Structures are given as structure tokens and as C-alpha cells.
Amino acid sequence: MAVPTSYYVVLSAAMFCAGLFGILTRSNALTFLMSVELMLNAANVNFVAFSFHHGNLTGQTFALFAMALAAAEVAIGIGIIVTLYRNFGGTDVTIAREMRW
Amino acid sequence: MTTRPRLRLGRHLLPGLVAVGLFVVLAVGVLAAPLGAAAGFPAEGSLAEANVTAELADGGSVDGGSYASEFDGSTTRVTVDRGDGTVAHTLTAADVAAEREGDTTYAVVSVPADGERVGLERIPMVDHGEAAAGPGAQVEGVDRSAEPGPETGVHAVARRGSITETIGYAMFDLRSVQPLPAESFLVVLLLVAVVLDAALEAAVYLARRGDDEVLTAIGRGEEGGEP
């Protein structure tokens, strides 16, 4: 017996809201990155759930590419965090207030 | 020492309420939405798994029923009677690809059934022409003009559609052989390849300390000392 699609979508909504809460409350850049990943993966859960719902594999393939894009995003994000740490001595996003330094 | 993030009610109350409120709205909306039953993917034991034994070119017997096919020059009409109602499928030449196994060339046809998906079926072809050889080759039609025999009838149902296999085919735009429905992602694959390359380059650029220095932290100490 398959799990109903709506349950997956509710799980995805919970993941998205957890990520949103993390972005709104934390000031550490690494926690930011984790929260963004959580929101991105919530979208992936939706893709896979609706792929199953419609019996079409487009959603699953798209989720695969979304994961690849997430990897690229993390690579650049961690690079930015390293630069942030070097220039400001920490990863608090509220300290860095300028785009150039 | 372990540090845990603390929930400060004063500063975190409003974001918390926003997040919980959004979740409640989304959950209620989703649970109340008339999504209906999931179509899903083919299960074991569907028609694609049936053991088909051939007797005639234009028909054969399947487990628990009979199987007939007609070819009118451009369209193959396959009819399956399994005792609980007749299911008919109309196939065009575009749905047909060729596959060779041993000495026999099969026409591989994608047969979507009503309410269930059955993946690929293979119909042995009488004409073993060069154009028909090799997976993915387009076939004009299945030649039914030869004398009927064990090799000319419906020989076997190939396999059920594999999800992983379909994703692989969809990424390279091989729609003629993919067993399950999916759109083409060839352009996306190339774009993502470029984006990942750019991300790698950007990550190395950001991790550089100066103009000439490349990743000093790797292999050496932070200040250039011994590892």
C-alpha cells in the first residue's frame, strides 16, 4: 500500500517551514546554508512525490538536477563563508554589512 | 563542550509564528486538496511480466488469455483478451524501436494500457534488415508477410519499465527506448555541467588567499610550515 501523495507534500511543507525558521532566526552563515538546503530539499520531495502521483518520471529527473545545482550552490556558499571568516574573523552574517571590503 | 542553539522567545517568537502559521496553512491546503489516487509506476506482475508464447504471426496466447495483432502498413493494433475484458492498443511506427538478441530482431513497442503502464513489449520481426538492427533504430513497420511460425509471432514480453533506466534515457534524450514516460533533459544536462564547472572555478577562486597563492591550507600548515 502506497503512502498518499498528500503526506509527502505535508512533509515537504514542514521541511520548508523549518528552513524558513532557520533563515529568519539564525545569524551564522553555515546555519543559513543548512536552512537553504532544507528548503531546497523540500522542493525535491515535492518533485518526487508528484512524479509518483502522475506516473511520469520528469519530476524525479528534475530533482536530480536540483541536487546538482544544490551542490554547486554549496561549493560557492562555503567559498564565500571562508572569505567571510578571513575578513571578519567569524561567520556571523550581521557583521559583514558591505558588499566590498 | 557541547553548544546547542537556544530558542529565545523574545527574538524568535515572531519568526516561529510565521513558520508555524505557514506550515498550518500549507498542510490544511494540501490535505483538503482533491489530489485523487496516485498513478504510480508499473508493479510486478503486470502485463509486461506475462509469459507470452507465440503460435501465429498475427496472434498468440498469453497467460490467462489471448493476444492478437494487426498491421495495416503504418499502425499496429494489439489486442489483449484476458477474460476480464479486451484491452486494445494502437501503436504507430514512432513507438517502435528495434532490438537484436541472438539471431532474432525484435520490434520493441511501448504499450500504455488503460490505468496501468506496461513498459516495453517485443515482437519478433521476420525481416532482419540492417535498418532494423540495433537498439534505438527506427522501424517502418513489422513485416507480417512471411509464413507464420514460432519466430514470427509474439514471442515474449520484454520487461517492466525500470525507473532508473528511464531517468538515464531521459537525461540523454533517448525517448525512443525509454520504457516509462518522461521529458527530455539533454539541454538541462549540458547546462548543469557548465554550471558545476563554473561553481568549481568560483569555489577555488574564493578559497584563494592572494593573487599567486593557491589553497595553502592543503598539504601545508596555515602559515606555510611543515605538514
Which value does ipTM take for this structure? 0.86
Answer yes or no: is B19 within a domain: no
Residue A99 lies in a domain: no
Residue B22 has pLDDT above 80, yes or no: yes
Q: A98 lies in a domain?
A: no
**Predicted local confidence at residue A63, as pLDDT:** 96
With CB atoms and an 8 Å threshold, state whether B15 touches A58: no
| Structural domain span for residue B97 | 47-160
- Asked if residue B28 has pLDDT above 90, the reply is yes
pLDDT at A29: 93
Do B151 and B194 sit in the same domain of this protein?
Answer: no
Higher per-residue pLDDT: B176 or B130: B176
Q: Is residue A44 part of a domain?
A: yes
Distance separating alpha carbons of residues B71 and A22, to the nearest angstrom: 62
Judge if B67 and B152 occupy the same domain.
yes
The pLDDT confidence band at residue B35, using thresholds 50, 70 and 90, is confident
Give the model's confidence band at B188: pLDDT under 50 very low, under 70 low, under 90 confident, else very high: very high
CA neighbor of B121 nearest in space, from B96, B85, B94: B96
Does one domain contain both B106 and B211?
A: no
Q: Would B208 be classed as within a structural domain?
A: yes
Task: Return residues 60-119 of B near A (CB < 8 Å).
Answer: 117
Question: For the segment A44-56, what is each residue's pLDDT rounded down to a tens digit?
Answer: 999 999 999 988 8
Whether the Cβ atoms of residue A21 and residue B19 lie closer than 8 Å to each other? yes
Contact B215, B206 (CB under 8 A): no
Q: Of B138, B142, B148, B108, whose CA–CA distance to B127 is shortest?
A: B142
Instruction: Tell me the one-letter amino acid at A86.
Output: R
Check A6 against B30: CB less than 8 A apart. yes
In a shared domain, residues B93 and B129: yes
A95 located within any domain: no
Q: Give the residue from chain B lying closest to A8, CA to CA.
A: B30
| Residue A38 maps to a domain | yes
Establish if A18 belongs to a structural domain. Answer: yes
Query: Do B199 and A55 lie within an 8 Å CB cutoff?
Result: no
Backbone angles phi, psi at A70, to 5 degrees: -65, -40
The verdict on residue A9 lying in a domain is yes
B182 vs A62: CB contact, 8 Å cut-off? no
pLDDT at B211 over 90: no
Chain-centroid distance, C-alpha B206: 38
Please, which contacts does A32-40 make with residues 24 or more away whose CB atoms are closer than 8 Å? A32/A93, A33/A74, A33/A77, A33/A78, A33/A81, A36/A73, A36/A77, A37/A70, A37/A74, A39/A15, A40/A66, A40/A70, A40/A73
CA atoms within 13 A on the CB side of A55: 19
Residue B222 covered by a domain: yes
In a domain, residue B10? The reply is no
Where a domain ends, among B143, B160, B177?
Answer: B160
* B197 falls within a domain: yes
Of the given ranges (A9-23, A82-96, B191-205), which has the lowest mean pLDDT?
A: A82-96
User: Is residue B155 domain-shared with residue B53, that is, in the same domain?
Assistant: yes
pLDDT, residue B214, reads 53
A28 part of a folded domain:
yes
Query: Domain check: are B129 and B198 in the same one?
Result: no
For B118-167, how does the pLDDT look when each residue is reduced to its tens digit (9 = 90+)? 334 555 443 333 333 333 333 333 443 433 333 333 333 334 467 888 89
Per-window interface: B 9-48 vs A, CB < 8 A: 11-12, 15-16, 18-20, 22-23, 26-27, 30-31, 33, 35, 38-41
Domain count, chain A: 1
Contacts across the A-B interface (CB distance below 8 Å): 127
Give me B10's grid cell: 523574545
Average pLDDT over residues A70-78: 94
Q: Is residue B27 part of a domain?
A: no
Question: CATH number, domain at A83?
Answer: 1.10.287.3510
* Domain co-membership, B155 together with B221: no
Q: For residue A24, which of A37, A41, A9, A36 has the smallest C-alpha distance?
A: A36
pLDDT at B67: 54
Q: Is residue B227 part of a domain?
A: yes
**Regarding predicted confidence, which is higher, B35 or A100?**
B35
Angle B8-B9-B10 (CA atoms, 0-180°, nearest 5)? Answer: 95
pLDDT category at B30 given cuts 50, 70, 90 is very high
Per the structure, the complete domain to which residue A26 belongs is given by 5-88
Which is more confident, B193 or B73? B193
B137 and B219 assigned to the same domain: no
Min Cα distance B60 → chain A (Å) is 30
Q: Is the pLDDT at B169 greater than 60, yes or no?
A: yes
Q: Is residue B224 part of a domain?
A: yes
Euclidean distance between CA atoms A38 and B97, whole angstroms? 42
> Which pLDDT score, from 0 to 100, does residue B208 have?
82
pLDDT, residue B185, reads 93
Which grid coordinates belong to A59? 519530476
